Homo-oligomer: A and B are copies of this chain.
Amino acid sequence: MNFNFELIKKDAHGSARTGRIKTAHGEIHTPAFMAVGTQGTVKALTPDMLRDLGAEIILGNTYHLYLRPGHEGIARGGGLHRFMNWRGPILTDSGGYQVFSLGALRKISEEGVMFQSHIDGSRHFLTPELAIDIQLALGSDIMMCLDECTPYPVTSGEAEISLARTLRWAKRCDEQRKNSPAALFGIVQGGMSMDLRKKSLEGLMEFPFEGLALGGLSVGEPKEEMLSIVGEMTPQLPEDRPRYIMGVGTPEDLVNCVACGADMFDCVMPTRSARHGLLFTSGEKIVIKHARYRDDHSPLDALCDCYTCRNYSRAYLRHLFVSGEILGMILNTIHNLRHYMALMERIREAINNDCFKQFKVQD
């Protein structure tokens, strides 16, 4: 098994913790934020830029890579790391979240999910076994079980049926990985019901998953509900394994979830916002297209150490954005991701110094 998780420090005043994951492609310091590399690239960045801004692990999307260019071609080329020239660890999702997001284009059965490609309408059948086979072909360091991601809201009857199936699928995923050295994480579902969530966790604990995730969050529920689930469930996840909150979130969400004992996160927010010109700073968020920045020759965030803030002005970033220049997306993405990475660095430092309780983030 090319996977090891070590707890480094538990916050003396709460549930927050730091740790270290070792994989075949390097270490990850937790709590960690994973940039999303949907189609075999974290949009607008080279892997060198990613490494320079402090990224230790990225997320790859099984659904997208399966459809295009296809996992078998990637495997023939030496796997996803080599294909995209990212030498660090990669976590791959199972494809489940994307498939369930297709709505009318998919149909679920005990065996798996029939779905139609969003690219060309072609029909595909995703099973727990195929989800694992794809992730194995990609050469993932951390694989995720295929789960059914229930929508919000959902009736408790539907959630219960879905949950039972997700547990049976978890078993099939665990069997399918055979003796692969890659880690496999189970995913706790159960909608917004605490009882179902606990039942889901109990079921998953029967398998030797190297980590546990909370799925089915950030699907449209009110933020309080999300935080309530995370607050109740995260401390119940096994302490000796990484705890991954899927699809979360804003800088404030990350701090709140870390406070509950979470270790890993992924979200398109920093990268997608960057491409739309919405930029995080140590102060207020900035909408870079605004005319007020036209003659603003100060850096985006004077407290940020990123390449963008060290070398460019708000006026230049605004110019690139309104001119539709690709460099604008590059520089904005570097900044937003560095903002997230620096936040995680400060979070880890605060926990290690027993001062996380005082940690605040402008959001």
A interface, CB within 8 angstroms of B: 39-41, 43-46, 68-69, 73, 76-78, 83-85, 294-295, 297, 307, 311-313, 315-316, 318-320, 322-323, 325-327, 329-331
A85 CB contacts on chain B under 8 angstroms:
311-312, 316
A68 CB contacts on chain B under 8 angstroms:
319, 322-323
A329 CB contacts on chain B under 8 angstroms:
326
Partner of A297, one of B76, B307, B331: B76
Judge whether A316 and B83 touch: CB under 8 Å.
yes
A311 CB contacts on chain B under 8 angstroms:
85
Q: Known contacts A46-B330, A84-B316; is A73 also within 8 Å of B325 by CB?
A: no
Judge whether B313 and A41 touch: CB under 8 Å.
no
Sample of 13 A–B contacts (CB below 8 Å): A39-B320, A40-B323, A41-B320, A41-B326, A43-B326, A43-B327, A44-B326, A44-B330, A46-B330, A76-B295, A77-B297, A85-B316, A326-B329
Q: How many copies does the complex hold?
A: 2
Judge whether A39 and B83 touch: CB under 8 Å.
no
Chain B residue with minimal CB distance to A333?
B326
User: How near does chain B come to A344, taking the closest CB pair, in angstroms?
Assistant: 24
Partner of A45, one of B73, B307, B318, B327: B327
Partner of A319, one of B39, B44, B294, B325: B39
Judge whether B73 and A295 touch: CB under 8 Å.
yes
Chain B residue with minimal CB distance to A49?
B46
CA gap between A329 and B319 in the complex, in Å: 20
A43 CB contacts on chain B under 8 angstroms:
325-327
CA gap between A320 and B68 in the complex, in Å: 10
A319 CB contacts on chain B under 8 angstroms:
39-40, 68-69, 83
CA gap between A295 and B75 in the complex, in Å: 10
Chain B residue with minimal CB distance to A328?
B41
Q: Known contacts A313-B77, A315-B83, A316-B83; is A69 also within 8 Å of B327 by CB?
A: no
CA gap between A167 and B297 in the complex, in Å: 39
User: How near does chain B come to A68, taking the closest CB pair, in angstroms?
Assistant: 6
CA gap between A43 and B323 in the complex, in Å: 11
A76 CB contacts on chain B under 8 angstroms:
295, 297
User: How near does chain B come to A236, taking the closest CB pair, in angstroms?
Assistant: 40
A330 CB contacts on chain B under 8 angstroms:
44, 46, 326, 330
User: How near does chain B come to A231, taking the closest CB pair, in angstroms?
Assistant: 37
CA gap between A286 and B66 in the complex, in Å: 26
CA gap between A327 and B330 in the complex, in Å: 9
Residue picked from A78, A311, A330, most chain B C-beta under 10 Å:
A330
Chain B residue with minimal CB distance to A325?
B41
CA gap between A62 and B322 in the complex, in Å: 18
Judge whether A73 and B327 touch: CB under 8 Å.
no
A77 CB contacts on chain B under 8 angstroms:
295, 297, 313, 315-316
